[in-house]
Amino acid sequence: MIAIYFKGLIHTLPLFLKGLWITILVSGISLVAGTLIGFICGFLRTVRRWGLSRLMGAYADYMRGVPFLVHIFIIYFILPEIGIQLEPFPAAAIALTVYAGAYISEIVAAGILSVPKGQSEAATAYGLNAFQRLRYIIFPQAVRVILPPLVGEYVLLVKDSSIVSVIGLTDVTRVGWLTVQRIPEGLMVFGLVGILYFIICYPLIHLSHYLEEKVSYDSR
Amino acid sequence: MRLSRRTIFKKIAGFYIESIRSTPLLAQLYFFYFGLPSLHINLNEIQTGILALSLNSGAYVAEIVRAGIVSIPEGQMEAATAYGLSYLQRMRYIILPQALGVTIPALLGQFIVLVKDSSLVSLISVLELTRAGQLMASERFMPAEGFFTVAAFYLVIYFALKYLSTLWQRRLIYREQ
């Protein structure tokens, strides 16, 4: 019995790889876009003017407080009511981007704030403008604090991308879900799904640990 | 366990933590939901959800606790050994009381994540907050009302936990002074 199921599973392997590709694609796109948004918002968060930091704080709080599943439902089911109809793929990418962007903005803001104030003041005394200060003085120092949790956040992003399967995007998790309807061997099917995620996430987790050790080593 | 010197314990704990941390909760949830019946273990949806969530957050909490234990200076352990305390006593009276205080904010943070993750059990048709929102959307065609209410409820829980966490952090700083 198990052998038959196993054979069936081998036959669906291309489908799994296709799903894996979708997972990588959707998390890759939102990884790049989310990082961009995260860095901009994280920087704005440290600006003490025009209520910007409060606004960004509210954005981050909202994203951190509400489950991703609810976000994706809001984007996929409520936006059509105001006339924005999205396909599953863009909806998923947007939801993931906005979600990851909030977390990354928190990381970036913490990184920028970790640079002592004297650095910025000294740079001002040198006659550098705001952009130059950020680009040449603050940022190079902040990156060391930002990098390890940023990679950790990418791991979360890949894992959260599994949730987009609920709006019908055929990523690895959905392929598993579809397969288990035909091959009623959940342990095997989702074991395989787990292994595929493991292949992506495990190296990333170790990269994060490695960066963390490297940073703490450098600062000694 | 992770810090134990016995390699078998270390390996088992390491395998558990790594495998949970590098796979999505949704896959774990489906793994138990679709997988356990083929081992002739029949749990209902709520039990499956609780099992998956517990195993999932257990791994993350383990990492937090490990970091807390590691943060205690080694001298504490050595001093306790010099006093003639056994390993269990050292852990119980010297290390853990100090480690737990440091880990509480991180534990609360993990708890926030857990509350959010619990929304996923709606996908194996457990009637909880998110599922209620879905029903609102599908049966009464009120997705906006349904999901925004759901979001508001989650936000209330989030802010309460966040407040607790800042309170505790303030206390930690206060104690150090």
Report the CATH number that the domain containing residue A192 is assigned in CATH: 1.10.3720.10
pLDDT given at position B3: 64
Which residue range(s) make up the domain with A87?
2-218
CA distance B145 to B39: 41
How close, in Å, is residue B19 to chain A by CA atoms? 7
Positive or negative CA dihedral for A85, A86, A92, A95?
negative
Query: Which is more confident, A103 or B44?
Result: A103
Chain B CB within 8 Å of residue A201 CB: yes
pLDDT given at position A156: 81
**Residue B41's pLDDT band (cuts 50, 70, 90):** confident
User: If we measure between CA atoms, which residue out of B156, B155, B61 comes closest to residue A60?
Assistant: B155
pLDDT given at position A144: 78
pLDDT of B117 higher than 70? yes
**A67:B130 CB<8 A:** yes
**A73:B31 CB<8 A:** no
CA distance B130 to B121: 9
Domains of chain B: 7-176 (1.10.3720.10)
pLDDT of B1 higher than 60? no
Contacts of residues A7-13 at CB distance under 8 Å and 24 or more positions apart, as own/partner, are A8/A182, A8/A183, A9/A179, A9/A183, A9/A185, A9/A188, A9/A189, A9/A192, A12/A175, A12/A179, A12/A183
Chain B CB within 8 Å of residue A189 CB: yes
How close, in Å, is residue B31 to chain A by CA atoms? 5
Residue recorded with tokens 């005394």: A125
pLDDT of A50 higher than 80? no
Q: ipTM value, please give it.
A: 0.71
Among candidates B18, B26, B118 on the partner chain, residue whose Cβ is nearest the Cβ of A202: B18
CA distance B25 to A179: 18
pLDDT given at position A218: 60
**Residue B5's pLDDT band (cuts 50, 70, 90):** low
Eight-class DSSP state of B77: H
pLDDT given at position A12: 72
Among candidates A61, A65, A162 on the partner chain, residue whose Cβ is nearest the Cβ of B26: A162
pLDDT given at position B6: 65
Chain B residues within an 8 Å CB radius of A185: 35, 38
Chain B CB within 8 Å of residue A61 CB: yes
**A70:B151 CB<8 A:** yes
Q: What is the mean pLDDT of residues A78-104?
A: 79
Residue type, position B44, single letter? N
pLDDT of B177 higher than 80? no
Q: What is the mean pLDDT of residues A119-142?
A: 78
Find the radius of gyration of the CA atoms of chain B. 21
pLDDT given at position B11: 79
pLDDT of A219 higher than 60? no
pLDDT of A27 higher than 60? yes
Chain B CB within 8 Å of residue A16 CB: no
Question: pTM of whole model > 0.80?
Answer: no
How close, in Å, is residue A68 to chain B by CA atoms? 8
CB contacts under 8 A, A 64-123 vs B, are: 64-70, 73-74, 77-78, 81
Chain B CB within 8 Å of residue A143 CB: no
Among candidates A177, A186, A198 on the partner chain, residue whose Cβ is nearest the Cβ of B38: A186
pLDDT given at position B175: 65
pLDDT given at position A171: 77
Instruction: List the single range of A171-175, B2-6, B56-60, B103-107 with lowest mean pLDDT.
Output: B2-6
How close, in Å, is residue A217 to chain B by CA atoms? 16
pLDDT given at position A199: 81
Total domains in chain A come to 1
Phi and psi angles of residue B2, each rounded to the nearest 5 degrees, phi first:
-60, -30
Chain B residues within an 8 Å CB radius of A99: none
Measured between CA atoms, the residue of chain B closest to residue A193 is: B27
User: If we measure between CA atoms, which residue out of A99, A201, A176, A204 comes closest to residue B116?
Assistant: A99
Chain A residues within an 8 Å CB radius of B130: 67, 69-70, 73
**B31:A166 CB<8 A:** no
